[in-house]
Structure 1
Amino acid sequence: MPPRSEEPRRDATGSRRGSSRGADPRSGEPGIGGISDARAYTPRGRTIREGGGAARAATSGGAEPRRTPRSSRSGDPFRPALQVLDGGRTGATRTGRRETAAGGGRVGVVRTVPRPSRARPDDEDDLPPPRRRPGPRAPRRPDRAAARRPSRKPRRPPKLADPRRRLRLGTLLTLALFATIGIRLVYLQTVDTPAYADGGLAKRLAVVDLPAPRGAIYDRTGAPLAHSVEARYVFADPTRVKDRVATARLLSPLLGLPASELAEKMKRRTLPGGGESQFQYLARGVEIDKAKQIVALDLAGIGVHRDERREVPGGDLAANLIGFTSQDMVGLEGLEAKYDDLLQGQSGRKRYEVGQGDLAAPIPGGYSETTEPKPGSSLELTIDRDLQFQVQRILSAQMAQTRGSVGAAVVLDVATGEVLAQASNPTYNAATPEESKSTAREDAATSFVVDPGSIHKAITYGAALQEGVITPETEMPIANSITKGDVTFRDTHPANGRRMSIPGMLAYSSNVGTIEIADRLGKDRLIDYQKRFGLGQPTGEGMPGEASGRLLPAAEWSGSSYGSVPIGHSVDATPLQMAAAYAAIANDGRYVQPHLIKDVIGPDGKRTPGPNPVTRSVLSPANAAALRTMLEAVTTVEGATGRAAAVSGYRVAGKTGTGLRYVDGRQQPGEVGSFIGMAPAEKPRYVVAVFVWSPGGEGGAVAAPAFREMMGFTLRHYRVPPSATSRSPKFEVFPR
């Protein structure tokens, strides 16, 4: 395309186009050019002479094309602007209009190439004709120069952007954007709502623990031995305490703690992970009235919250059995520890929305969730509170005669195996366990392991009766001593070789006679009956840490063992194990496992009986009755070892014992004095066992009198009729 000239286009006569001087004087029309010619431009401003068609025709007819003058090819610089004013339509010059020169000469008509149609942009024949101005039309003058130009296809102007397509695209993009935003909003409101809500919820939630009341421990009558009561704990936020010294002085008389101790607790402390501690216990288990007074002081940084306190009404009553808990209500010793999971229950929790700052109060209608606490179950023991108190009192009074001694006492119901009382001395106050020594908190009945001594002889005689080695009428000459291995065993009541009856051997606690009967029985059968009577294994009474004792296996017997084992040495047993063995003799030869748990009481009050006790037959009823009768000689024969254990008005069968105590395999100084008996002997109801170890050897003088008082109170407490109509038989120690 030739460059557009900046000079105004001239016609053939040399005059400028667009001048009003070029008007046709005959028609009065303005000349072609000027503003009128501006309308004949296309958007690009290029024009083609109207006579181009004739020129093409001439060219096709063989005429020499003539080059168009430069002035005719140059465009008017004002025409594009005028075309815009005309609405962008082509055809500012109309087909058929004539240009006149200044001298009246005519030139070829110029027309603008119309813009291609949108429907058919490649078909130039379909282009719309240029718009013509109304008025008379001048005759056409053939353009010889155009005729001489070679015919060529006019260039198609470049396509312009379609505003409708841009509008559609913009609309689609806008709709897509709004659709995306809408989908995201719906997703946030439906799917992600819980996540976003929970994310902010944690910052405005208050959490309050709801402690579950710990189950109580009752005696067999329903009297509480240990139970929980509602209390309060007092805490401090050291970061908010303004004056800890002044605050401590105000709290000291209410909490019963030194002000210096409270001030020390309120010191600011840095946590291991960073930051300052905002919680510190000042006191636990505070009475509610005291807590109210503390709240009324309105001290900065001091708070009060619900707590629980364990109360032991009896103080030291059955303390060695019950045990105690920590301040957090966790069982640490005794039954509190053994049945901690059952007693503890499950704590609850309340979570709710609160406001911030001065509006730190529950938000009405806000989030709130409460998990109700599940109270713990309670235990009803077989212990009789009144009997327990008397047994503890008697044991303590009798042991006051000794120094540095350890004692244990057990009362069993013969028919059921229930433990009615189980006392230890020394003891402690379970309400303030921190003030006691660990040795005072042990349950001696289940942890006190001793050589039972002569009380074991009842097992040897019972086995011999059951195996037919002896009968109640058996008599034997008894020497003053007997040697087994490298040990010589002697009697405290020498027989000097005289014949002695079985009741006499028991009454005088003959070591020689017992060893001779055991030789006839044999070690294997003796060990078998030891196990049947419950030795060598824990009773499973219910106390934690119960000792099992130990039996000497047959393979480990030495020469002296044939003399020591039958009389209760080289045997380890607890007071409870020996009491259960005597209860089997009292129960017509049937062993019943001793136990402490009578019922388990659920939070709803439903009672579940404790596990059924293990039972087994050890002796026949006849042999058990015969052995009971022979044991009565211990409390009735003149000069017998157990005369101090006789209970006025009742027949008593039992046996004294003198044994040794071992701790970690080492023999301790002194002796263990014991007495185990049953009453009424004709039909026993109860068995009482008393063991006292004393470094000075005074236990034997303490055990029998203590038994007498305990058994006497037990029989009267349960209103057992005296044995007035049934007297003990007369025994001959040395028959003629």
Structure 2
Amino acid sequence: MLKRLKKESNELRQKRTTQRRLNVLFIAIMTLMTLLVLRLGYLQIVKTEDYKEAVASNENIEINESVPRGRIYDRNGKLLVDNTAKKAITYSRGRMTTTEDMLDIARELAKLIDMPTDKLTEVDKQTYYIQTHRNVADKLMEKEAEQYQHNMISQEEYDSILYRKIASHVKLSQTELETAAIYREMSAGSQLTPQTIKNEHVSEKEYALVSQNLAKLPGVNTTMDWDRKYLYGDTLRTMFGDVSSKEEGLPKDNIDYYLARGYARNDRVGQSYLEYQYEDVLRGRKKTMHYMTDKSGQIISSEVVDPGSRGNDLVLSIDIDLQQKIEKMIDKHIATLRAQGAKNMDKVLVVVQDPNNGDILALAGRQISPEGKITDYHYGTFTSQYAVGSSVKGATLLTGYHENAISLNDKMVDEPLSFAGGMKKKSYFNQDGRVTINDKEALMHSSNVYMFKTALKIAGLNYSSGMALPDDITEAGRILRKGLNQFGLGVKTGIDLPNEVMGQRGHLTDNAGNYLDLAIGQYDTYSPLQLSQYISTIANDGYRIQPHIVKEIRQPSKTETLGPVKEVIDGKVLNRINNTPREIKQVQSGFDMVFNQIEGTGYNSFHDTVVKSAGKTGTAEVFQKGQPRVNATYIGYAPSSKPEMSFSIIYSNQPVPPPWLPGGDLGKDIINAYFSSKK
């Protein structure tokens, strides 16, 4: 009985153990099944799009061919920058292509073309030698190979030793050097993307020979590359900017930025000015291919998904005919002024624009060496700044009106000013006497004293002989600068070009003398483009408009005509100045007197322009290598009643007058040329 019970008990225990094991196994299987179902669900539902994209990226390949950039036209549809085609030989590496395959192709290609070898480095030569003389490399590295196999040295250390040892063995013939140069270019490309082997000086014979032997050269192709072509020579050449070569590729300091936007490392991109600023517009769209491969990765068929196209075109606001005329005028006036004594004048800068919409009609700059050699400095119109003198006095008056420091037609005595501590200030036109003038006459005569007294009133002070100037001029300086800023003086204009300067601001807090100089343009510095924006703001009745050099973006056309408009770039109103129409008219009237009254500082140059004009002149005291000089400035617009164009001119480092040099004659010639061409 006890035996039977014990036996049953053992059987029961074994059965229970077996059952538990089966339960554990069942739970494990069910858990694995559940995980598998969840994983499949995750892959099918959550990751579907990711895998579709991965498959598409393996099948739809963007071909890294050199795509022509968009063209650049002037405002009248005249082609300024185009692309010129040139023959090229390329290579596309397949997914299963081996190093030996590439070397064989390079050897065959070297028989058909003359490949420049000047860009081969010692490392390139050593790499080629190692690939073609494995037995020599292996023999040299027997000891290191064993060390590497036992993890005693790293791959980097192994390679370093190899290149050091192989250096003395590398002796390559001219044919081998050319083969190495070809192999170097072939190796630089990624899979299925064309890599340029040669695109400079490809002869008709080379192009034909390679084309005839393409069947023996898998991956090699003959195609067309491009270069930029400038139809007006050096005119505006610096403003158009540069495009990198295929050797330069992406700029190293911005490589991550471009790679994140789908560029290849050897893509050509805009490096400066217009080409850089409008890179996203001008860059072409690459061809996309759909590849089908077998299980081994070999391509069995392909088709073009997107043929790609050149980039969009830019239509500039520039009038190229006016631009060329102004450049010739500048050169003529440089010769005239140098002959009259301006031997140290080193820059002439001109901006012409439409004051009503911000269109830049011409940007011209010249640098002059001490020997008189002239070079382009167009970009200096917005990348350099200068003390501009009395040209800013219109903005000073308008700030005074707004701050209720002065009123229209207020009269003041122009007289030499004396302050405590011995500081003296005076006007150039009236250095010793006492003359009562109003605000418009102050502009006509370019009265410094009227502006000094206005600045004092902005600070809450009335002038008296021998008065002490305040120790802290911070608030008054802030107010005056803010007034100048609303015209664009001392702030960026917003032009659609890189590297624009804001100008330099000096220290005002505890120097009231500097504050007074600020009121006459003798302290802070401004760019020629800021001067242009300022005079345009007065010309158009008080609207500060953002200047722009691109007028339209057009879709590429397959013909020589312009394609459809993609985007129109209008002048954006940045602000309206804080003055009434009557106050603006008062300054406009004063500017009219500057050019058209016989006592006006601009009368000699501007009183007989083909249409009546108005504006302001300025002279700023500066130093050049310790010697006193002046910057001469001229700003204006025409017609004075309903302006269509405005201009600013800066001559830097002219001789201290007298005599006064006729720099304003350039402004007269610009006005006459503009309206004569319109007729």
What are the superposed Cα offsets for residues 452-511 of structure 1, whole Å, 9 maximum, x if unpaired? 211111111122234444445332211134448764323221160121233332222221
Q: Cα–Cα, structure 1 residues 491 and 372, in superposed 2: closer, same or farther, change >3 Å?
A: same
Aligned to 1:395: 330
Q: Cα–Cα, structure 1 residues 374 and 473, in superposed 2: closer, same or farther, change >3 Å?
A: same
The CA distance in 1 between the partners of 2:363 and 2:630, in whole Å, is: 22
Verify: 1:595 aligned to 2:542, yes or no: no
Aligned to 1:533: 487
Aligned to 2:148: none
The CA distance in 1 between the partners of 2:209 and 2:301, in whole Å, is: 31
- Which of residues 639, 646, 650 in structure 1 aligns to 2:611? 650
Report the AA paired with residue 543 of structure 1: L
The CA distance in 2 between the partners of 1:710 and 1:675, in whole Å, is: 12
Aligned to 1:334: 273
Aligned to 2:317: 382
Contact preservation (8 Å) 1:484, 1:563 = no
Q: Cα–Cα, structure 1 residues 241 and 700, in superposed 2: closer, same or farther, change >3 Å?
A: farther
Aligned to 1:226: 81
What are the superposed Cα offsets for residues 700-736 of structure 1, whole Å, 9 maximum, x if unpaired? 73631111111111122234xxxxxxxxxxxxxxxxx
Report the AA paired with residue 212 of structure 1: V
Verify: 1:453 aligned to 2:389, yes or no: yes
Alignment of 1:2-13 (within 5 A): none
- Which of residues 396, 399, 418 in structure 1 aligns to 2:359? 418
Partner of 2:271, secondary structure, is strand
Partner of 1:675, secondary structure, is strand
Contact preservation (8 Å) 1:519, 1:562 = no
Partner of 1:672, secondary structure, is strand
Alignment of 1:501-512 (within 5 A): 501-512=438-449
The CA distance in 2 between the partners of 1:701 and 1:293, in whole Å, is: 62
Contact preservation (8 Å) 1:542, 1:595 = yes
Farther-moved stretch of structure 1 (676-685 vs 522-531): 522-531
Alignment of 1:341-490 (within 5 A): 341-350=280-289, 366-368=301-303, 370-400=305-335, 401=338, 402=343, 405-426=346-367, 440=376, 443-483=379-419, 487-490=423-426
What are the superposed Cα offsets for residues 187-245 of structure 1, whole Å, 9 maximum, x if unpaired? xxxxxxxxxxx9xxx9xx99964333211222112222212233223689998579999
* Cα deviation, residue 529, structure 1: 1.1
* Cα deviation, residue 581, structure 1: 1.0
Report the AA paired with residue 441 of structure 2: G
Report the AA paired with residue 388 of structure 1: Q
Verify: 1:570 aligned to 2:523, yes or no: yes
Contact preservation (8 Å) 2:282, 2:311 = yes
What are the superposed Cα offsets for residues 269-297 of structure 1, whole Å, 9 maximum, x if unpaired? 437696445155786465xxx74344246
Aligned to 1:692: 651
Contact preservation (8 Å) 2:414, 2:427 = no
What are the superposed Cα offsets for residues 155-197 of structure 1, whole Å, 9 maximum, x if unpaired? xxxxxxxxxxxxxxxxxxxxxxxxxxxxxxxxxxxxxxxxxxx
Contact preservation (8 Å) 2:366, 2:375 = no
* Cα deviation, residue 611, structure 1: 5.7
Report the AA paired with residue 326 of structure 2: V
The CA distance in 2 between the partners of 1:486 and 1:215, in whole Å, is: 63
Q: Cα–Cα, structure 1 residues 510 and 230, in superposed 2: closer, same or farther, change >3 Å?
A: same
Alignment of 1:283-302 (within 5 A): 284=199, 291-296=203-208
Report the AA paired with residue 542 of structure 1: D
The CA distance in 2 between the partners of 1:542 and 1:217, in whole Å, is: 15
Verify: 1:215 aligned to 2:57, yes or no: no
Q: Cα–Cα, structure 1 residues 645 and 404, in superposed 2: closer, same or farther, change >3 Å?
A: closer
Contact preservation (8 Å) 1:228, 1:308 = yes
Q: Cα–Cα, structure 1 residues 270 and 486, in superposed 2: closer, same or farther, change >3 Å?
A: farther
Aligned to 1:561: 514
Contact preservation (8 Å) 2:385, 2:504 = no
- Which of residues 678, 685, 690 in structure 1 aligns to 2:637? 678
Partner of 2:519, secondary structure, is coil
Partner of 1:670, secondary structure, is strand
Verify: 1:617 aligned to 2:472, yes or no: no
Contact preservation (8 Å) 1:481, 1:491 = no
Gaps in structure 1 of 5+ consecutive residues: 1-197, 252-261, 355-361, 428-436, 720-736
- Which of residues 574, 583, 606 in structure 1 aligns to 2:536? 583
Gaps in structure 2 of 5+ consecutive residues: 1-53, 92-101, 132-179, 186-195, 247-267, 460-475, 557-562
- Identity across aligned pairs (percent)? 22
* Cα deviation, residue 353, structure 1: 9.0
The CA distance in 1 between the partners of 2:198 and 2:333, in whole Å, is: 40
Aligned length: 485
The CA distance in 2 between the partners of 1:552 and 1:519, in whole Å, is: 18
Contact preservation (8 Å) 1:629, 1:681 = no
The CA distance in 2 between the partners of 1:443 and 1:296, in whole Å, is: 44
Partner of 1:645, secondary structure, is helix
- Which of residues 243, 250, 266 in structure 2 aligns to 1:325? 243
Alignment of 1:634-649 (within 5 A): 634-646=594-606, 647-649=608-610
The CA distance in 1 between the partners of 2:328 and 2:361, in whole Å, is: 15
Q: Cα–Cα, structure 1 residues 323 and 265, in superposed 2: closer, same or farther, change >3 Å?
A: closer
Contact preservation (8 Å) 1:405, 1:694 = yes
Aligned to 1:497: 434
Farther-moved stretch of structure 1 (231-240 vs 564-573): 231-240
The CA distance in 2 between the partners of 1:566 and 1:635, in whole Å, is: 21
Q: Cα–Cα, structure 1 residues 589 and 232, in superposed 2: closer, same or farther, change >3 Å?
A: same
* Cα deviation, residue 338, structure 1: 1.1
Partner of 1:423, secondary structure, is strand
Larger radius of gyration: 1
Higher helix share: 2
Verify: 1:544 aligned to 2:504, yes or no: no
The CA distance in 2 between the partners of 1:391 and 1:477, in whole Å, is: 41
Aligned to 2:661: 701
The CA distance in 2 between the partners of 1:438 and 1:511, in whole Å, is: 34
Partner of 2:522, secondary structure, is coil
Q: Cα–Cα, structure 1 residues 477 and 207, in superposed 2: closer, same or farther, change >3 Å?
A: closer
* Cα deviation, residue 592, structure 1: 1.7
What are the superposed Cα offsets for residues 593-612 of structure 1, whole Å, 9 maximum, x if unpaired? 22222222234734212265
